[in-house]
Amino acid sequence: MKLNSRTKFGVVVAASALLLSACGGGGTSADGSGTPAKGGTITYLTIAEQFNHVDPQRNYTGQDLAFFGSYVNRTLTSYAHAEGTAGAEVVADMATDTGTATDGGKTWSFTLRDGLTWEDGSEVTCQDVAYGVSRVFATDIIVDGPTYAISYLDIPAGDEGSQYPGPYKATAEQQALYDNAVSCDGKTITFKLNKVVADFNYTVTLLAFAPVPKAKDTGEKYDDAVVSNGPYKIESYVKAQSMILVRNENWNPDSDPVRHAYPDKVVVNFAQDQAVIDSRIIASSGEDAFLVSMDGIQPENLPTVFGDDKFKNRRVNETDPYALYAAINVNKVNCLPVRQALLVALDREAVRQVAGGEFAGDFADGFISPTIAADYAPNKVLDGVQPTGNPDAAIALLEQAKTTCPDVYAKATGEGLVYDHPDTPTWAKNAAVWIVSMKKAGIVLKSNPIEPGKYYSVVMDEALQGDISRGGWAADWLNSSTVLPELFGEGGFNISQNKKDPAYAAYKALMDEALAQTDRAAQGAIWKKANQYALDQVWAIPTFFGRSQEFRGGNIGGGYLWYPFGSHDYDALYVIQ
């Protein structure tokens, strides 16, 4: 899956940060309609102080995958740059086709195209791809990214993860384990898997499978200065200020049937005030007509933008693939009645209103989005759950907790539970709703605001994570094998920390059964059971099945929601000449 990085809400910055760093093109604002053409500068504005990650093996938010996959990093396969469900089609990118499966789907091979180059003009080789993937195994350095390579490749398991520790620490014997699973024969790379993975060609769309030149790898520091094999390269990256991308003169468009590379330059300005972002793009005057928001639209401005047809070519409002929720740290809240009390106490309607009402999406009843039709079924929610909260039912559950888990009860009603959320004004309103909802039931909740660009790095570190953490997840492809194992199993984003829960063993058995099932309909039935089981354990509190709103200045064309990522299709955006 992909993390939801959208915060949509603003922070205060110095007035000097509001200045554009480059011009877009002409000086007359258009209405967002035009013909795709090369040239000009697109400037993105965001409240975040940085990208979550730039290192491809550590990149896992939908927005960042879409951004860097469009501009900087190429992979063996990628998603089609197209509107609607057509954007979920996998197409050949660096590879000549979408892969060849043998051994019933336990072995996959991809052959690289001719003409692939790095930004210095050197050839992108099969060995570069193999080395890039090997970095995923260095879990002490390459953190926060997807771990499908560890789960899927035919390398023996160790005490913690894999017997292969990654390229930085591997002995010759350990490296041989990896080289047996991932091998090169000229331009052809072959992956030997430990199980049948019929959709492995979807897996390699992730930037975790992007190439990295070994000689240029700087380990943890690679997160600040990656080497490009895409149409743009990083000219500068200063956190809390800006990132500037310029054309990669050594990118060979003949080798890239996927990307258009419309603008001459791409600028990202960090640490912007969301209210100012919205007002500038709404006005779309002069150089502000060349702006694009990376943070959606503030809830208070949604009626303006979607209530006036003059914005119709500049706005997007579509169902996205995310299920939004609040993960409960089960290691810290290891008491089911307390977790149930949190669930029934929450006023989800009030949470929905501060997030934009109908623009926020529909109430969620689990963690599998209805967009995965084969795996979704309505869940039975806990008795007592009401849209506006049910403090009486929560109080009754807390009475049970007094005797079944008095320590957790005492913490929840005394010292209080910590609620992690992005540090923005509207997320502060969200936290206030949570605090008031819980107070009605006698639960004490404390707000823990975190800088948006660092949010996931913090909550994915158990030493820094609070008791409850806001989250959002979308499938990496249309199979819940990329959802439930990631959120509540051995995958890369289990911020519920539920593996020590006595109830986990039965859940793991369901996951193992589903992952081993090759009949898709039968597998879907198991995922439905597992979804209900996770909800029953209240390892997280589902809130909404998401909708996303995007907005851009009048001189930027090509805007739509890129379905696999719930984000802009950055490659499709162009300057209207």
CATH number of domain containing 483: 3.10.105.10
In a domain, residue 439? The reply is yes
Domain for residue 267, yes or no? no
**Domain identity same for 359 and 210:** no
How far apart CA 499 and CA 534 sit, in angstroms, is: 12
In a domain? residue 461:
yes
Whether residue 460 is contained in a domain is answered as yes
The C-alpha atoms of residue 357 and residue 256 are separated, in whole angstroms, by 41
The verdict on 349 and 474 lying in the same domain is yes
| Secondary structure class of 434 (helix, strand, coil) | helix
Q: Is the residue at 23 inside a domain?
A: no
Two tokens, residue 503: 């109830």
Torsion of CA 309, 310, 315, 316, to 10 degrees: 20
* Torsion angle defined by CA atoms of residues 353, 302, 243 and 22, in that order, rounded to the nearest 10 degrees: -160
Kindly give, in sequence order, each residue whose CB lies less than 8 Å from that of residue 141, ignoring residues fewer than 6 positions away. Answer: 166, 168, 219, 220
Residue pair 43/548 in contact by the 8 Å Cβ criterion: no
What pLDDT shows up at residue 404? Answer: 97
| Residue showing tokens 């049937």 | 257
Which of 187, 220, 253 delimits the end of a domain?
Answer: 220
Domain span including residue 348: 319-547
The domain spanning residue 94 has which CATH number? 3.40.190.10
CA distance 310 to 274: 21
**Is 200 inside any structural domain?**
yes
Q: What is the pLDDT of residue 5?
A: 54
Is 283 contained in some domain? no
The three-point CA angle 524-525-529 to 5° equals 115
- Number of structural domains (the chain) is 2
pLDDT digits (tens, 9 = 90+) for 459-518: 999 999 999 999 999 999 989 999 999 999 987 789 999 999 999 999 999 999 999 888
Same domain? For 214 and 323 the reply is: no
Question: For residue 15, how far is the Cα from the chain centroid?
Answer: 30
Separation CA 495–CA 466 (nearest Å): 10
Report DSSP state, residue 209.
G
Give the domain-ending residue among 163, 194, 220: 220
Which residue in this structure is represented by tokens 């539920």? Answer: 498
| Cα distance between residue 229 and residue 227, in whole Å | 7
What is the reported pTM?
0.87
Q: Could you say which residues of the chain have pLDDT below 70?
A: 1-29
Is 258 domain-assigned? no
- Rounded CA-CA distance 499/483 in Å is 16
Choosing from 220, 247, 269, the residue where a domain stops is 220
Do the bridges between strand 100-102 and strand 2-3 make them parallel or antiparallel, or are there none, so unpaired? unpaired
Whether residue 197 sits in one domain with residue 84: yes
* Integer Cα distance of 401 and 395 in angstroms: 10
The pLDDT, as a whole number, for residue 23 is: 42
